[in-house]
Amino acid sequence: MRWSQTFIPTLRNDPADAEAASHKLMVRAGLIRQLGAGIYSYLPIGWRIAKKAEAIVREEMDAIGAQEFYLPALHPAEVWKESGRWDAIGGEMFRFKDRKDAEMCLGMTCEEIFTVLARDGLSSYKQLPQIWYQIQCKFRDEPRPKSGVLRGRQFTMKDSYSFDVDAAGLDVAFDKHAVAYKKIFDRCGIDSIPVEASSGAMGGSESVEFMAQSSAGEDWIARCKKCDYSANVERAVSALAPVEDAPDDAAIEKFPTPGIRTIKDLVTFEGGAAADRQIKTLVMMKRGEEGETPVLLLIQGDDELNEVGAIDAVGAALRPAHEEEIVKALGAKPGSLGAVGVKDIPVFADKRLKGRVGMTTGANHDDHHVRHVSMERDITVTKWADLRLVRDGEPCVKCGAPLDLKKAIEIGHIFKLGLRYSESMGASVTDQNGKPVPLVMGSYGIGIDRIVAAAIEAHHDDKGIKWPLSLAPYAVVVSPIKMNDEAQTKAGEELYAALQAEGIEVVYDDRNDRPGAKFKDHELVGIPYRVVPGRGLADGLVELYDRRADEKADVPLADVVAELKKRLSA
RNA sequence: CGGGGCGUAGCGCAGUCUGGUUAGCGCACUUGACUGGGGGUCAAGGGGUCGAAGGUUCGAAUCCUUUCGCCCCGACCA
C-alpha cells in the first residue's frame, strides 16, 4: 500500500471530547471516527487492526473445536419472550416494530438464537459436546456510552455457546474457553487477569471475567499480591480481622442528635460513636413479582455498600429507595435510620456485624439515635451476607497477604449458564437412557473493540501507539527522506517490492512531505518498523527504526529485508 | 434519570458576559517558489446557513424561548 493513496486521516491535536488514551489515539491515528454517542466508524487502518484481532480470536476458537456461525442481529421479540428476557431486560435493548407492527429488537447477545438452533438441531447426547461461536455486531443502548469504543452502543463481539449433556461437560467447555482466552489475550499483547465475577442478569452459577489493568477501565478488581486470588470488587471479600467491641449488655438507649445526619457527624457529636461502632442502615427497593418492596441493608459505619453483593444476597434487583419510600417504611428520614425493632421488612446484615455489641445506629425517629445496640439481641437479621466493598490493602481471604485494588477493562467474560435457557426454552437431548435431559449450557464473550482499545492502553507513549506485531496494521513502513532524490526513491520502491514479495505487510510512504512530519505519523499510527533510505545510501546503508524499542540502527541496504524477516519472525 | 460543561471551517480554539462594518486565529487543505534526518519558510488562495427552529430588535454567533446533539461526574450496566 502507498501511504499517499491510503485514507489515514491523522490529527495533530487530541479530539476535545476524548478522555481515555486509547480513545484519543484511535481518533488521532485515523483508526476511527465518531458518528454518534457510542457509535463509531472504523477507517481502513482501524479496520485492519480489528480484523487482526478477529483472526486471532478465530484461530484460538477453532483450536478448541468451536464452529463458526453467523447469526442475524435483527431478532423477533418472540424468541426473547420465550426465555423471559424480553421483560427482564430494561432500556438497554433497542426495540422497535416492523411494518407489520411486529415487535423486534437488535441483538445484544445471542443465547436465545443459539438455543433455538440447538433445540431444533440437537436431539441426542451423541451429538455433544458442541461449541458454537460467531463474531458479530451487538447492540446495547447503554445509558452512558464512553471512552470511545470501550463502551459503545454498537460493537463487535465474539460470542460462543457450549452445549453439554451434564455439568462435567460444561466444566470442560468452560476450562477450554479459559485457556483459549488467555492465549488470545497473550497473542494480542494484553496481560489478562481472570477474576471471579458476578453473573448478573445473564443467569447461571459461575462466571469469570478477563480483565486488562488500565486506568481507562470502568471496573475495579482486587488482586492478592501473593497468591492467585483475584476478584471483581463486586464479588471480592477479604479476611479482615473482626472488630473487638468492649462488653456491653446495657439496654438500648435512645438519645437526641439534633441535625446529625451522617456517620461522620455522629463521630464528632458529643455522646456519639466511632464510625466502626456505628451501623449504617441503607434502604433499597427490591423488584419482585408483586412490585417493589423495601429491604434494609446493614453495614459497619465506615464501610461502603457493595451493591452487587447486596443484589446477590437479596436475590433480586435493587434500587436505592426514594426519601418518601424510606419515610413510609421506617417513619424517619435518611440520617436517623436503624433496624432496631424492625420486624416486617427483611434485614440483610454484613457478616462483619455479626455478634457486635454496644453499637450506635439511627432510631427511626428524626434527630434521634440509639446506643448500646446488640446485633443479636436487638435486630432481627433475615440473612447475613457479604455486603461491604473491600478496600486496598485488606488481607486476602486465601492467604492473608494484602489485596491490591486496580482499575481494569473487562475484555472477556465466561459464564456457566447451566439450564437457564435450555429449561425456559425447552432445549433438550435424549440421554443414554432414552430420557430427555435439558442441555447444560455455557456462554462466552470477547469484545473485539475492547481488545484493540486495551492493547493501545497497554502499548502507547507520548508519540502514539506501539502495536505488538500481532495487531499492527502494517509491520513495516518504508519512507525515503527526499522524494525528489532518485537514489532514495529507487531504493524505497525496491524495498517496498522486496518486502511485499516476502509476504511482509508493508506500506510505502511516498508522500512528498518533510521527513519529520512523516515520521510523526508513522509513530502515531504505531507501525513497528520503519526503513529509511536517506543520506546513508551513499555508503549502502538504510536506517532501521524499531518503534517499540525506540531504537535506530544503520543496516546495509542489501541486508535489511533479511534483518526484518528475522525480527518479524522472532 | 440527576448534576455539570460544550456545540463557531476537517481538527483545536477566540469572539457571546456588555448586540453594531465583510466572523477571526493556529493547524490542515490548494497553487508556486525555496527547502529536505524530526510536525520548515515565504507568497497567494479556497473553505462558515456560528447545531436547529421560533422570537425580541433598525440590527443577533451574541439577548429570550423551544429543541437536537456531544462530553464529563453520578445513578445504571449482561
List, for residues A252-287, the tens digit of each pLDDT value: 999 999 988 888 889 989 888 999 999 999 998 887
Among 3.40.50.10540, 3.90.960.10, 3.40.50.300, 3.40.50.1000, name the CATH number for the domain at A253-385.
3.90.960.10
Distance, angstroms, CA A186 to C1' B63?
Answer: 59
Q: Give the Cα separation of A233 and A390 in Å (integer).
A: 7
Q: At residue A148, does pLDDT exceed 80?
A: yes
Distance, angstroms, CA A143 to C1' B2?
Answer: 13
Max Cα–Cα distance, chain A, nearest Å: 97
Distance from the first to the final alpha carbon of chain A: 24
Question: A230 by DSSP, 3-state: which?
Answer: strand
Q: Give the Cα separation of A393 and A286 in Å (integer).
A: 32
Among 3.40.50.300, 3.30.479.10, 3.40.50.800, 3.40.50.450, name the CATH number for the domain at A476-569.
3.40.50.800
Q: What is the DSSP letter of A92?
A: T
Q: Give the Cα separation of A471 and A468 in Å (integer).
A: 6
Distance, angstroms, CA A147 to C1' B15?
Answer: 31
List, for residues A14-40, the tens digit of each pLDDT value: 999 899 999 999 999 999 999 999 999
Domain parsing of chain A, residue ranges: 46-71+108-237+404-457, 253-385, 476-569
Closest nucleotide to the alpha carbon of A89, via C1': B78
Q: What is the DSSP letter of A354?
A: T
Q: Give the Cα separation of A112 and A105 in Å (integer).
A: 12
Measuring alpha carbon to C1', the residue closest to nucleotide B39 is: A517
User: Which nucleotides on strand B sit less than 7 A from a protein beta carbon?
Assistant: 1, 10-13, 26-28, 35-40, 69-78
Closest nucleotide to the alpha carbon of A138, via C1': B78
Q: Which amino acid is at A111?
A: E
**Do residues A32 and A141 touch, judged by C-beta distance below 8 A?**
no
- Alpha helix ranges (H) inside A408-466: 420-425, 448-458
Which H or E run contains A312? helix A307-314
List, for residues A415-448, the tens digit of each pLDDT value: 999 999 999 999 999 999 999 999 999 999 999 9
Which H or E run contains A39? strand A39-42
Distance, angstroms, CA A517 to C1' B28?
Answer: 12
Measuring alpha carbon to C1', the residue closest to nucleotide B13 is: A16
What cell was used for A389?
466493598
Question: Residue A18 — φ and ψ, nearest 5°?
Answer: -105, 145
Nearest Cα residue to A193 out of A203, A201, A202, A185: A185
What cell was used for A510?
511516498
Residue matched to cell numbers 506500506:
A507
Share of chain A above pLDDT 90, in %: 83
Closest nucleotide to the alpha carbon of A308, via C1': B77
The domain A46-71+108-237+404-457 having CATH identifier 3.30.930.10: the answer here is: yes
ipTM tops 0.90: yes
Which H or E run contains A543? strand A541-546
Distance, angstroms, CA A85 to C1' B18?
Answer: 58
The reply to whether A476-569 shares the fold of A253-385 is no
Distance, angstroms, CA A142 to C1' B17?
Answer: 37
Closest nucleotide to the alpha carbon of A27, via C1': B11
Distance, angstroms, CA A57 to C1' B49?
Answer: 48
Closest nucleotide to the alpha carbon of A35, via C1': B70
